[in-house]
Structure 1
Amino acid sequence: MSALLLLVTQTSLSGDAPLNPAAAKPAFAQARQLCEADHGQLWGISLCGPAMLVDPATRDVIASEKDASGVLHAADGVFAGSLPKDVPVANTSVSWSGTRWIQYLWPLPDDDALRRVLLAHESFHRVQDQLGLAAANADNPQLDTLEGRYDLQLEWRALAAALQAHDDAARRAHVADALAFRADRYRRFPSARAAEAALERNEGLAEYTGVMVGMPTASERQAMALRDLQRHVHDQSFVRSFAYATGPAYGLLLDNYRPGWHDEVRHGAYPADLLAKSLGLSLDKAPSSAKRAALAARYDGKALWAAETRRQQERDRLIAAYRSALISGHVLVLPLRHPRVQFDPRNLVPIGANGTVYPTMQASDDWGHIEVQQGCLLASDWSWLTVAAPSGEEGSHISGPGWKLELAPGWHLAKGSRAGDMVVAKSD
């Protein structure tokens, strides 16, 4: 399989303002102002670059520059047109029509601070390959377990306390607690270290960049890092969104304790490991059960455990329903070779070795395009996608419970490996 293009989407916070040149130009100006103010200081490279605003409902696009293929036309100082269906639409970076673009979903957040962070965050994604920080988004199913979620949220609370500490001794103590909760998670889930670091070196560093470049003062950066730690607590799932919370916190603490850490990360180091090393701590030594309980008590661990236990019971019922629909029931299997995927990183449901359920998704591959609104199962190795068996077919337009598929020419539905199953296959 060729390299995968993984894209994540986040819900816009603003209203229904139409996308037009008059609305787009201030956004492009603000993005350029931010990157020019940074002047390449943070990462040693300019974050400025071609940008586009895309309305996900209509695929209308307004860009800061013309495209190489001439798809976009000049419109009052910017360039407008419509994105082809095979071009992913998300808050991300995308290569299209001869250009590597910063792509923003329209409308942008109304909140000025969140908008500035978003503008700088996505700018990082355009240059991260040049920095040796190629995007990698490993699954983190441990963060959908009772123990994994508990440790992560205790870690977040300790990080928040560290950022707000009034003296160095208190700050170091809270950092030690945060790293102890992380070490406990690493002990329980041996694959967590590399998997979590992969997302932290991608979305975590991007969000840290957003905070550093988007916020003009140290106090505003601290406030935004604290805001990130708080606003992701209510995500339905942490498996793909946790790094948006940890990235700025670890980055700001590293700025304090390990100046120059950016070069180490570019050469493969993990942010949490660097912070532990800087303070003479080790993520290889997990706390005892008694020690973990004592540490948790400092951060209202008893109430958190009770809430997470209730959540897990509800989650078990949801997983059972997904297993019935997408594993034991009749299904349609779509092989993945060159996938282009959009999804919400806050609502994923890992279901063990079978993969992860994405409640909503848009995916394109050689076989065409599918839109899912009621759940699909993605294999852990991204080799296939499964939805409930089809219920309707009109030529190349196939549909089923909560999904619609448009087949590309030369593809058809064939019998699957189990009676009642189907698979998308290439025609002879």
Structure 2
Amino acid sequence: MKTILTILAITFLWGCNKSSKTNETTDPDWAQAVTAFKELQETLKKENGETWNHSLEGPLIFVNRDTRAIIANESDNSGELVKRENLFVGKLPENINIANTAFDWNGKKWTMVAFPLPDTKEKRLNLLIHESFHRIQPAIGFGSLAEIQSVHLDSKNGRVWLKLELEALKKALDSNEPEIHIKNALLFRQHRYQSFPDAKQAENSLEINEGLAEYTGSILSKRTDSDLKKHYISQIDWFYTLPAFVRSFPYFTIPVYGYFLQKTDKGWNLKITKDTNLTDFFTGFWNVDCQELTDDTILEIGKTYGIDSIIENETERENKKEELKNRYKKKFLSDSVVVIGLEALNLGFDPSNVMPLDSSGTVYPNLRVTDNWGILEVDSCGALIGPAWNKVIISYPELITDTLIYGKGWKLKLNQSWRLDLVDKKYMVTKE
């Protein structure tokens, strides 16, 4: 089974306490697109492929989430896009998830970014270059990356040790002598890996993929050095407000380490391959010895970085999380569910709120799934994807029509020859 994971901030027309949208966007934000294309082209022409020894320029599509209207910087190979002035317009097929990502369509590999775009030039460049990096990944040796979910970062201790690492990185960004704080950040990381033996490989798989992309986007965003440090600090503070850390953390760790590395070695990233362990690379660069760290040692170092407050906050969060997990278990592990098998999964989701549900799989509060059977769209009410990526579970249907099936917070559109059957209290999607 080919699984494609993409980041998707989804806007729904139904769901849990959601109000319906009535105004469909008719103007595909032409002015935004023209400005962004110009800014990106000017920046990448000047950069001239130096960051990765490969040009980041290439096919780019902006898409409106409501109308699926496309504005592209070049034509597709199938002629679906129509030229308008010096750009190209069209409509994204329904079976393609709208996401900030790289994807293959009509004979080309594209960067896709959804409207609305960020409100400043620096933020726009950061986003567009991040996603452009994903498009060139296979060409620079980072293709076919297998991501492992960092489920330990949904635990109290995992989050505490990660927050301490990030607090040390914030201190480094605000210090004239950053190295001591960078070394302490790496000690907190080592302690996290002592506590969770599988964490090192899992975190690295995500940091190679998303961390390097975000480093590239931020370092080429045209921010001044002072503004870049302020950006990293504010991003870390914003990260703490996210409901889940398990997939979003690389956006906030690797850019900071990379920022300090490029101060000494501008081409450090060219030494990285998809087989590199970034933690080993960092500890080697800053001469941090691998050592067994006791809790007492870490607690003492942690006083500099507000460990007591972090533990208090995470203890409170842990209690709330257990309550939510119990609700999810009652909802998705009962007989009153719809079970849909996954065959050719294409998944769009928000990485900031996914929640591992022990050995039962992972809950995605909002997602969009396309598969052989059709399209499933879920809003904040959630869906459970099994640990083997072979099924998705949602709540009981509330309305079944000839073309669409609705439940609390979800909508299912089945292709011809597929149907919803009730089997032993559970609904199953089956092929006729």
Q: TM-score range by the shorter chain?
A: over 0.9
Give yes or no for the alignment of 1:162 onto 2:168. no
After TM superposition, the structure 1 = structure 2 runs for residues 20-169 of structure 1, keeping only pairs within 5 Å, are 20-134=29-143, 135-167=145-177
Between 1:67-76 and 1:292-301, the stretch displaced more is 67-76
Equivalent residue for 2:7? Answer: 8
Task: Please list the CA deviations of residues 238-267 of structure 1 after superposition, one character each: whole Å capped at 9, or x if unmatched.
Answer: 111111101201211332455543233225
Give yes or no for the alignment of 1:224 onto 2:236. no
Q: Secondary structure at the match of 1:266?
A: coil
Structure 2 counterpart of 1:163, which letter? L
Aligned partners of 1:119 and 1:214 also within 8 Å: no
Displacement of 1:21 in angstroms is 3.1
Distance 1:301 1:9 in 2: 33
Distance 1:24 1:316 in 2: 44
The change in CA–CA distance for 1:376 and 1:207 in structure 2 (over 3 A counts) is same
Displacement of 1:412 in angstroms is 1.7
The change in CA–CA distance for 1:202 and 1:17 in structure 2 (over 3 A counts) is farther
Equivalent residue for 2:285? Answer: 278
Distance 2:141 2:390 in 1: 26
Between 1:184-193 and 1:212-221, the stretch displaced more is 212-221
Unaligned runs of 5+ residues in structure 2 are 12-24
Aligned partners of 2:208 and 2:274 also within 8 Å: no
Equivalent residue for 1:401? Answer: 408
After TM superposition, the structure 1 = structure 2 runs for residues 269-348 of structure 1, keeping only pairs within 5 Å, are 269-282=276-289, 284-348=290-354
Aligned partners of 2:186 and 2:283 also within 8 Å: yes
Task: Please list the CA deviations of residues 378-424 of structure 1 after superposition, one character each: whole Å capped at 9, or x if unmatched.
Answer: 123322111112233223422222111001112122355xx311222
Aligned partners of 1:363 and 1:370 also within 8 Å: yes
Q: Secondary structure at the match of 1:285?
A: coil
Give yes or no for the alignment of 1:237 onto 2:236. no
Structure 2 counterpart of 1:8, which letter? I
Taking structure 2 as the reference length, what is the TM-score of the superposition?
0.92
Displacement of 1:49 in angstroms is 0.5
Distance 1:34 1:268 in 2: 30
Aligned partners of 2:63 and 2:113 also within 8 Å: yes
Structure 2 counterpart of 1:198, which letter? S
Distance 1:348 1:414 in 2: 29
Displacement of 1:7 in angstroms is 0.5
Distance 1:426 1:202 in 2: 36
The change in CA–CA distance for 1:293 and 1:17 in structure 2 (over 3 A counts) is farther
Q: Secondary structure at the match of 1:152?
A: helix
Aligned mate of 1:206, from 213, 225, 236: 213
Distance 2:258 2:210 in 1: 12
Distance 1:398 1:219 in 2: 52
Distance 1:213 1:10 in 2: 24
The change in CA–CA distance for 1:32 and 1:11 in structure 2 (over 3 A counts) is farther
Aligned partners of 1:225 and 1:245 also within 8 Å: yes
The change in CA–CA distance for 1:80 and 1:99 in structure 2 (over 3 A counts) is same
Percent of residue pairs identical: 33
Displacement of 1:198 in angstroms is 0.9
Aligned partners of 2:373 and 2:415 also within 8 Å: yes
Displacement of 1:377 in angstroms is 0.5
Distance 1:398 1:243 in 2: 37
Task: Please list the CA deviations of residues 41-70 of structure 1 after superposition, one character each: whole Å capped at 9, or x if unmatched.
Answer: 111100001111101121111111111112
Aligned partners of 1:413 and 1:423 also within 8 Å: yes
Between 1:189-198 and 1:226-235, the stretch displaced more is 226-235
Q: CA RMSD in A?
A: 2.0
Between 1:395-404 and 1:370-379, the stretch displaced more is 395-404
Distance 1:21 1:228 in 2: 29
Aligned partners of 1:358 and 1:376 also within 8 Å: yes
Higher relative contact order (CA 8 A, sep 6+): 2
Displacement of 1:115 in angstroms is 1.5
Structure 2 counterpart of 1:27, which letter? A
Distance 1:142 1:301 in 2: 19
Equivalent residue for 1:363? Answer: 369
Between 1:394-403 and 1:231-240, the stretch displaced more is 394-403
Task: Please list the CA deviations of residues 11-64 of structure 1 after superposition, one character each: whole Å capped at 9, or x if unmatched.
Answer: 89xxx9942433311111111122112111111100001111101121111111
Give yes or no for the alignment of 1:420 onto 2:425. yes
The change in CA–CA distance for 1:150 and 1:11 in structure 2 (over 3 A counts) is farther
- The count of aligned residue pairs is 417
